[in-house]
Structure 1
Amino acid sequence: MAQQPNDVRQWPDESDLVSERPTLEGSLTESAFEALPTQIALLDGEGDIIHTNRAWRAFGEENEIVGAPDTIGQNYPAVCRGADDEFARQAYEGLTAVLDGERPEFAFEYPCHGPNEKRWFTMRALPFEHGDERYVLVLHLNITDRKLSELRVDAQNDTLETLNDINDAVRDVIDSLLGEVNRGEVEAAVCERLADSRLYQTALTVTAGLTGESGRVRKAAGELDAERVDAGSLLEGGVADAIEDGEPRVFRHAAENEAVPERLRTLADEAAVEAYATVPLAYRGTTYGALVVTARRPDAFDERERTAFTLLGETVGYAIDAIQSKRVLQADALTQLRFDVSDDTEFLVRAADETGASLELEGLVPSAEGVIGYFHVEDADPAALVAAAGDDPTVTNARAVVDGDDDEPGLFECTITGDSALVALSGYGASVVSASVEGGEMELTAVVAPEADVRSIVEAVSAAVPENNLTAKRETEGTITSMTGFRDRLYDELTDRQREILEAAYFGGYFEQPRRSSGTELADSFGVSSPTFHQHLQAALRKLTALSFETAEN
């Protein structure tokens, strides 16, 4: 009950009460006490309760205390001292100090929860003298509404702070792209930003191999000893699933959760981890790993928090993709990879074999769905390739751009969205510089930045098309473009979408006379409206023209 902070209901029996109970019955004071909604008790100089009001008695009756609900005759400090509760001990110490004249007054807040509701009270003890006697007035004020409001505000503030921390991490990642940073520096910055927040305990990034057994922890920050966190347990504990389907995972009660591997449960118990989340680092369908974040808050990673982390994962994935692509465009030295692909799950291999066509890559443009490819066609009608695409789930927007004749090869366009070596390479920031398909075989060459994780790239290609061979790997000069060259400057000016649409328009014959592709056809390849396509194209052409005139003048 509110008369004692710990809600102890065992008050002494009537036989233990003092025989004479001084009362104020019939007085104006008693009438005033009775009218007050606040629970009030009057104590004598020894701490015995000599008077209580109606609110005090009603609370005792409602909470079924043992003994008389008015509790008159009880020694209030003794009751508090006998309770095994930290708030009762605080009340005892404060009351005793007031009764002994060591404190002018005493007040504190305490919880007094019922079986079906949460309640909080403020207790105040105010001493006064009457005649030659010393008394203490004890008040218990119900502050539940105020406390619940404060808790709601605290929860909202925590949520806002959480979102601000995550948004700051997103801004840090975006800002990092303006400087010369590598993937490791981006991942380390994100981990350090989250681990420095009071809301999280540890953050680390993990990558997985082809089978999920050769993963490794790349970067880590925070309280957990990263050397004790093995990548295999993390992969089993949600990381592999997050990488596989691109969806974040949240694990609460980590130390007891049977879905969490035993080793992680042990670490969670030792480090008081209440919850952790696994967030995929993905962009354009390619997942570069996962971010793992731990927290001591049982309610961590609610819906809004998960949404913010999803954005963070996409931003880091975009940064990794942009860094790798930029390195390929600007590097003075590159790593060249050559593959032979004979897997008929690769649409181009299957279609060329079925139609007898010989295909030569003209240009490849990354898209949100996969890659848009343009291929010169010989020994077959491009329309036969369109027919071969049919209802193939891995290919969309297949069309014959140029029918072809004896003087000019045909031109075939399609968007490849499913298992494909071309999609896998593009997803890892590789630039496919050549590809030819004939007789059930595809030979392709790609270049990647020298610091790229070649093993992961090869594994990604094998995951997409198992029947392949890496036939060559060598270092080569960065001949795609000079670091200070025109194309480098142009790519800095263009947005990703402007560059993609400009390249698609060029390879698709939009600028030729007569046009091989209309704006509507190219817009359909990107899944955008014709006005949107032309808006991006005009912006790209304007930047290209401005840069051309500037270069010419220089």
Structure 2
Amino acid sequence: MDLASELARHTLDHLSLNVALLSADGTIRASNESWRRFGRANDIQTAPDTVGENYLEVTTRGDDPYAQAAAEGIASLLDGERETFSLEYPCHSPEAERWFLLSASRFAYDGSRYVVVAHQNITERVAAEQAVDRERARLSHLLDRLSGLLQDASADLVGAADRAAVETTLCERLAADDAYLGVWVGRTSLARDRATVSARAAAPDADAAAILPAIDDEISLAGSDAEAHPLARSIDARTPVVLTAADSVGSDGGSRTAAPTEPTDATVTESATAPGSITSPGPSTPPSEIETDPSRRTAGWATVTDRLCRPDATADAVVESIPRTDDGAGGVVTVPLASGEGVYGVLACYAHRGGDLTDSELAILEALGRIAGAAIDALESRRRLVVDAATELTYAIRDPSFPLLSLARALESDVEYGGSVHRSGDRYVRFLTAAVDEATMRAAAAELDGVVDAERIAAVEPPLFELRRAGPGLVESLADRGASVRSMSATPEEARLTVDVAANQKPRAIDDLLSGLYEAVDLRGYHERDRSPATAETFRDRVVGQLTDRQRDVLQRAYLAGFYADSRSATGADLAESMGITRATFHEHRRAAERTVLAALFDPEPYQ
């Protein structure tokens, strides 16, 4: 049976979902490439496409309750009892735990009933939700004094609607606790070298302005001595950092004693999970005995905030400014908001007494930081999946080993990237423009790792060159992580790279890749945009997906060389010669590619 046109089959094959079509008796009549790829990867006992197999019979062979539920749901569709069915289920492999979402719906075609079944990998979302659940379970066993705070705050954090709500809830919950005068959150940049105050709260009876003055500018965490910055230390080490003006010196177990100031001794402690790593000089003062005069309680904390937010902040400078009242010296603790590999911000808490920042207190704060981080991670992942939010990252790179920058310096000329083509096997092509002759380009390109040849394509200005690589490079590494190059250029001083990160990928993976490969990588732009399924970009990607590699090569080369310009600067003969094919073959591929593009423009129905 002709289930769909060739175009529709290609479209299904480019979906990341595993899709199959069932006839009225449950027999699999067709499947897409993702379905077949999953079958090959998991060594199923039938052909990878499973066409001809009965979905219901295969599903019910075992006694797995999820499989039984799936079979019953699909059967109800085939029987006409419902229109749609969905089920989340585990499908673990020997190497990893995985979860999928089964979505199915029925429809009629040519008098017959069919069901389309799609399986979507939701492992990342489920793992994030499970991380939140694990943290909540672990926290339920901690101290009675903070059990109310812990339970209420964690429930509110997990139930928060967005990232801003998570940050605000965290601050308000902690500020309402008797132990703290003020709390604020610094939201970190992707490169973790800057932070912006995104939420703050003060104790109910405290003067918020006296404790937390407005901080409108970004906080630089990459100053001359970034390792000494308390906020940067907390983020980099992914652990709380405690700053206390203690009653007596004598801390050890991973702690550092700062230069004392009269009349107090200063203690700085980097928290560890091992007992005894936090110094608690003397007994804690019960909340009822803490200084109750608002002006005395808040005096001096604005200076703490100011020093903590300076680019050149040090633990010594912050500790020196911590106020001291009749009931003792205060304390500051900074806590990372982290989940998995991501750090989403840093929490700063101002305590009445530094001595109250015990191991148990820090365990609660660290756990809340992890819950907030996991909640933000889950919200960001869910939001990107639901709204199809693409992320645009722009980098400035000054590492001379960066290929385009290395080439620009060797040529002493600006270089512009025009695109890439994968020919076959390990043959990859880069299109570049630079105001140099062919001999100069050949000599400079020969020094680049992986480049085997360079050739000027046509007599256009600025000159257009084709660089041939043996094996993949940075462009392919980015693509493996769900990113495509939007633009790339270089002067002899600096390279600029802009990439688009797919909705189901994390931008931090791109940042980690570039930072791991090159030095002097500076993130200059971070923009998110919500895309609908019918954007020009997705339409273009689907059209390009219908072209063969040769057709795309011909069309891209012709466009870049000026074949379609008003004053044609390259002829078909020129381009055919540059590709090593006959003129007739060149025009055959060109016309086929043009037909595909024009069909998409004037008969767009299959592409919607």
Same fold, TM exceeding 0.5? no
- When normalised by structure 2's length, the TM-score is 0.34
